[in-house]
Amino acid sequence: MPRDHPTPPRSLCLLRLSAIGDCSHMVPVVRTLQEHWPETALTWIVGKTEYRLVGDLPGVEFLVVDKGDGLLGAVPRLRRALGGRRFDLLLHMQASWRANLLASVIRADTRIGFDARRARNGQRLFTNRTIAGPHRVHVLDGFFQFLQAAGLQARSLRWDLPIPAEAEAEVAPRLPPTPFLALSPCSSARARNFRNWAAERYAAVADHAYLRHGLALVLTGGPTQLERAYADAIAGATHAPVTDLVGATSLKGLLAALRRASAFIGPDSGPLHLANAVGTPVIGLYATSNPERTGPYCHLAHVANRYPEALKAETGRSVATARWGRRVRSPDAMARIEVADVTSRLDAILQRPAAGERRQRG
């Protein structure tokens, strides 16, 4: 493997703007760099929303890009912030036109991007090296391939996202005094992005968690009308005591709440990956996206995975023969996940020897 940097570079720029889940996957990359190249100065160019999640990581300089500036504003703003400096190494870890145009004003001797299978939107025009290795891997493993391409073979699978005292204070008085299950029922709103499970099935799982395991329910999510409607429907259909935090926490407050949960359930979404990052057991609900690529990294064994059969029904292909990352666009795909698929996994998590200790935490 070529090694442009057999010794640590003096300066390294990470370009990954979004989204919340993907930026949470970046944190172990940062931790690995800090552990094994402690003298390397790290700069991370990140989105404004994502900065609220990772911006207090120690030892990292952040340059924030606001989508609201548009490309005509963001590109010259970044150029001014960089002030003409040059990095030894750029890891260009987002293959979008916006990221590519921002990369055009980042000066770096070595510019590593995705390989031909994964580069999109002309990314290879803005790089002079590519990552190598299998492409049918989890997003986080793909990020570590950037370090391998730079000559660093180590991997520290560690998050330790800072949760400030004010974030704890934001949610602690509102959380139930007893152990609880956290649900974040909705994924981000995108065209033909059918990742949300039925509210009545969430309510049935909440009933099971309460009646069998004594868990209260904490609902989390953003401030959209859809998430509000889901929260109201779930709360109205379950017998479990409900704490509704939908649209009512900061990102750090959400982290603080998720860290205290006995378990988390939700679809492929930012909160699912945040729960994974804080060490909470996660049950991911997957039928329209492949958990082998975007699942909760430390809890893939607990995924309720109906993606293979949904993919076969829509495309006639198996996971092995379909394009990696191929999404299922059927509005009915998530209905393939049964309540029993989820409750059986919840039982397995909560009956592990360490589960009782975890439920008493916080």
The predicted structure's pLDDT at residue 352: 65
Whether the per-residue pLDDT at 1 is higher than 50: the answer is: no
pTM: predicted TM-score of the whole model, two decimal places: 0.94
Task: Say if residue 75 is in the same domain as residue 204.
Answer: no
The domain in which residue 231 lies consists of 168-359
How many domains are contained in the chain? Answer: 2
Residue 257 has pLDDT above 80, yes or no: yes
Question: For residue 15, which of 51, 57, 46 has the smallest C-alpha distance?
Answer: 46
pLDDT at 152 over 50: yes
- Is 173's pLDDT higher than 90? yes
Contacts 24+ apart (CB under 8 A), 150-155: 150/4, 150/5, 150/9, 150/12, 150/89, 150/91, 150/110, 150/112, 151/1, 151/3, 151/4, 151/5, 151/6, 152/5, 152/32, 152/33, 152/36, 152/37, 154/32, 154/35, 154/36, 155/28, 155/32
How much of the chain, in percent, has pLDDT values that exceed 70? 95
Q: Tell me 177's DSSP state.
A: S
The average pLDDT across 124-145 equals: 98
Domain match, 107 and 36 both: yes
- Say whether pLDDT at 192 is over 80: no
> Phi and psi at residue 316, in whole multiples of 5°?
75, 5
The pair of structure tokens assigned to 182 is: 């956290």
How many CB atoms are closer than 10 A to CB 249? Answer: 20
Query: What is the CATH classification number for the domain harbouring 102?
Result: 3.40.50.2000
Asked if residue 156 belongs to a domain, the reply is no
Residue 157 lies in a domain: no
State the angle between helix axes of 20-36 and 270-277 in degrees (0 to 180), rounded to the nearest 10. Answer: 30
Q: What is the pLDDT of residues 219-252, one digit of tens each?
A: 999 999 999 999 999 999 999 999 999 999 999 9
Judged against a pLDDT cut of 90, whether residue 189 lies above it is answered with: no
Mark whether 209 and 286 lie in a shared domain: yes
Residue 4 included in any domain: no
Torsion of the alpha carbons at 200, 201, 204 and 206, rounded to the nearest 10? -100
Give pLDDT tens digits for 300-344: 999 999 999 999 999 999 999 999 999 999 999 999 999 999 999
